[in-house]
Amino acid sequence: MTVAEIRELIQLACDTGIAELEVQRGEDRVRIRRAGFPAQQEFIVPPQPVSAALAATEAPAATEAPKETKQADPNLVLVKAPIVGTFYESPSPDAPPFVRVGDRVQPGKVLCIIESMKLMNEIEAETAGVIESKLVMNGQPVEYGEALFAVRAV
């Protein structure tokens, strides 16, 4: 990293008002911390259950039981995002969803698409069962390992 690049980063930190900036390029690593800001504190926020407002927007709403109760059920399998991206329930905006709550699915059935880096990745069912609930909204960003669907194994 050159001195000019470091100066640009310092200017960026000043212009945006951020307290701390860390950049790594290969072996080079720079951390810029502005004076006058308190030391950074880390807060770990536990994931929150699906809200009643979110459940009310889905048609039809499958269940309003808290997520903790669902995970305790041994017949309930959570389909989780294998990648980070944007969740889509249908192949195009005007097409019907791949699956709906109450649909019976078999292994290999496409449940949704996750767009990541301009690539459309089909997410398939790994077990046979019935879609118990959809846990994310269409167009919502999802993280690796985030639960997308709850499937009741049959």
Query: pLDDT digit string (tens) for 72-131?
Result: 577 888 999 999 999 999 999 899 999 999 999 999 999 999 999 889 999 999 999 999
Which pLDDT score is estimated for 59? 45
The CA distance from 75 to 132, in Å, is 11
**Which tokens in the block code for residue 57?**
């927007």
Which pLDDT score is estimated for 46? 53
- Name residue 133's amino acid: S
Which pLDDT score is estimated for 60? 47
Which pLDDT score is estimated for 4? 82
Burial 9-24 (b: 16+ CB within 10 A, else e): beeebeeeeeeeeeee
Query: pLDDT digit string (tens) for 6-48?
Result: 888 787 777 777 777 777 777 777 777 766 654 444 444 555 4
Q: At 4, is the secondary structure helix, strand, or coil? A: helix
Question: Stretch 122-150: mean pLDDT, rounded?
Answer: 92
Question: Stretch 122-144: mean pLDDT, rounded?
Answer: 92
* pLDDT score of 67 more than 60: no
Tell which wins on pLDDT, 52 or 133.
133
